[in-house]
Amino acid sequence: MKSRKIIPCWGAAALLLSVGCGSQTDEKISLKEALKDKFYIGTALSVAQFTGVDTLSERVARENFSAIVPENCMKSMFLQPAEGKFFFDEADKFVAWGEANGMWITGHCLVWHSQAPEWLCTDGSGKNVSPEALTERLRSHITAVVSRYRGRIKGWDVVNEAILEDGSWRKSKFYEILGEEFIPLAFRLAHEADPDAELYYNDYSMAFEGKRSAVVRLVKTLRERGLRIDAVGMQGHIGMDYPAIEEFEKSLLAFAEAGVKVMVTELDLTVLPSPNPNVGAAVETTFEYRQSLNPYAGGLPDSVATAWTGRMSDFFRIFLKHQDKISRVTLWGVCDGDSWRNGWPVPGRTDYALLFDRQGKAKPAVGEIIRLAGQ
Ligand code: 9MR
C-alpha cells in the first residue's frame, strides 16, 4: 500500500478543512487513514477525554488516531494507592473506550520511579524495604494489572526511564533496593501475566549517545536472558533546537539493529524557550514562571508556526523513511490545550506542542504528514 495515491491534486486546502472537521471520503483522508499501512498513530488520553467530559478532544482523538495510551490513570500511584487496594475504575473506562473505538491500546506504565506510591518501596518509617519485599510488591502489582487486561491491552511500557543521559542507571528506589535486576524482573512478571502482550522499555532523551548505548545493552541483555522485549519507546519530548534529528535517527537505527521495533512515544514539540536546554522530560525539574519565558500567550506568530510545521514534518519524514522499523508514533496529548508542556518545566505557559490546536482544528503539519505518507 506504500504507493497508494491518497491526495487529489486540488487537495491541500480541502484536505486541511476535512481533517479539521473529521469527515472522511475517498478524497479527504484522516491522519490515521493516511498512516494506516505505515505505523499506528497514537495519542495519550486524559481521564476527561474518555469519560465524556472533554468532548472536543475526545472527538479529535476518535477521528484522527488509531492507538491510545493513558496519560496518567494507569500509573502505580493511581492503580494501587495503598497496598492491596486497587483502583481500576478509570483504567477500565480507558480500555473500554479504546475497544469501542477500535484502538491499539498500550498500557503505561508498570514500573516508574515517578508517580509511584510511597508504600511501594518504603516501610512505615520511610526506610527502604528489603529486596524480597519489593520483589513481592512488584509481583503483586504487575500481575494484578497486566492480568486484568490480558488480551485487551496489546502492549505495556514495562519499565519507564531507568537510564540517565550518560548511560548510567538512574538511582531510583527500585535500583537502590534491587539493583538493575528490577528490570528483568519486571519484564518476566509482565510476560507471565500476559504471554501475548508486547513488552516495551520507554525513555526520554534517547538521542544522547550514552543513553543510546545503554539502551542497546539493556535490550541485548534481556534477549540473551530469554526475556521478551518487543520494542523500545523513544519519548519524543522535543524542542525547536533539540535534539539533533541525525542523533535521534542514529538511536532509532541502533535500537532496530539490536533486534526490536521502535516506537516514537510521547511526541510533543515545544516552541517555548527552555530555562535549561538539557532537561529532557524529568518532571521533577521545574523553574519559576517569568513572563519572558511565555512569549506566545496571545497567539503564535506565523513565522514560528511555520518553523514548527517544518520541524514536525522533518521528524515525520524520518519516521516514514524508517517505517519498516517503527510500529507506532504516539503524540503526548490531543489538542494544544491538553499538553503537559503548558505546565512544564515552567508552570502557567501557553505552548503549541501538538498536532491539533486549542479548538481541535488540525494544524498544517497534519496535512503535511498526510502528504508525506502518500509519497
Ligand atoms: O503528562 C503527564 C503529566 O500529566 C503528569 O503530571 C506527569 C507526572 O509525572 O507525567 C506526565 O507524563 C510523563 C510520562 O508518564 C512519562 N514520560 C514523561 C511524561 C511527561 O512528564
CB 199 within 8 A of CB 228: yes
Using CA positions, which residue lies closest to atom 7 of ligand 1?
283
Report pLDDT for 282: 79
Question: Is the CB of 338 within 6 Å of ligand 1?
Answer: no
Report pLDDT for 212: 98
| Secondary structure element (H or E) that encloses residue 179, with its range | none
Question: Is the CB of 114 within 6 Å of ligand 1?
Answer: yes
- Cα-based distances in Å from 197 to 6, 229, 361: 33, 10, 34
Question: Is the CB of 286 within 6 Å of ligand 1?
Answer: no
Report pLDDT for 281: 77
Q: Which atom of ligand 1 is nearest to the CA of 344?
A: 21
Catalytic residues: 161, 266
- The pLDDT tens digits for 76-89 are 999 999 999 999 99
Question: Is the CB of 266 within 6 Å of ligand 1?
Answer: yes
Per-residue b/e over 347-370, b at no fewer than 16 CB within 10 Å? eebbbbbbbbbeebbbbbbbbbbb
Report pLDDT for 22: 43
The full set of domains in the chain, from first to last, is: 17-373 (3.20.20.80)
Q: pLDDT 10s digit of each residue in the chain, 375 long?
A: 333 333 333 334 444 444 444 433 233 799 999 999 999 999 999 999 999 999 999 999 999 999 999 999 999 999 999 999 999 999 999 999 999 999 999 999 999 999 999 999 999 899 999 999 999 999 999 999 999 999 999 999 999 999 999 999 999 999 999 999 999 999 999 999 999 999 999 999 999 999 999 999 999 999 999 999 999 999 999 999 999 999 999 999 999 999 999 999 999 999 999 887 666 777 888 899 999 999 999 999 999 999 999 999 999 999 999 999 999 999 999 999 999 999 999 999 999 999 999 999 999 999 999 999 997
Average model confidence (pLDDT) across the chain: 92
Using CA positions, which residue lies closest to atom 17 of ligand 1?
281
* AA identity, residue 348: G
| Secondary structure element (H or E) that encloses residue 233, with its range | strand 231-239
Report pLDDT for 7: 35
Gap between the Cα atoms of 375 and 371, Å rounded: 7
Task: Tell me 128's DSSP state.
Answer: B
Phi, psi of 261, rounded to the nearest 5 degrees? -75, 160
Question: Is the CB of 336 within 6 Å of ligand 1?
Answer: no
Cell numbers found for residue 68: 491510545
Residue to mutate (ligand 1; options 47, 71, 235; most atoms within 8 A of CB): 71
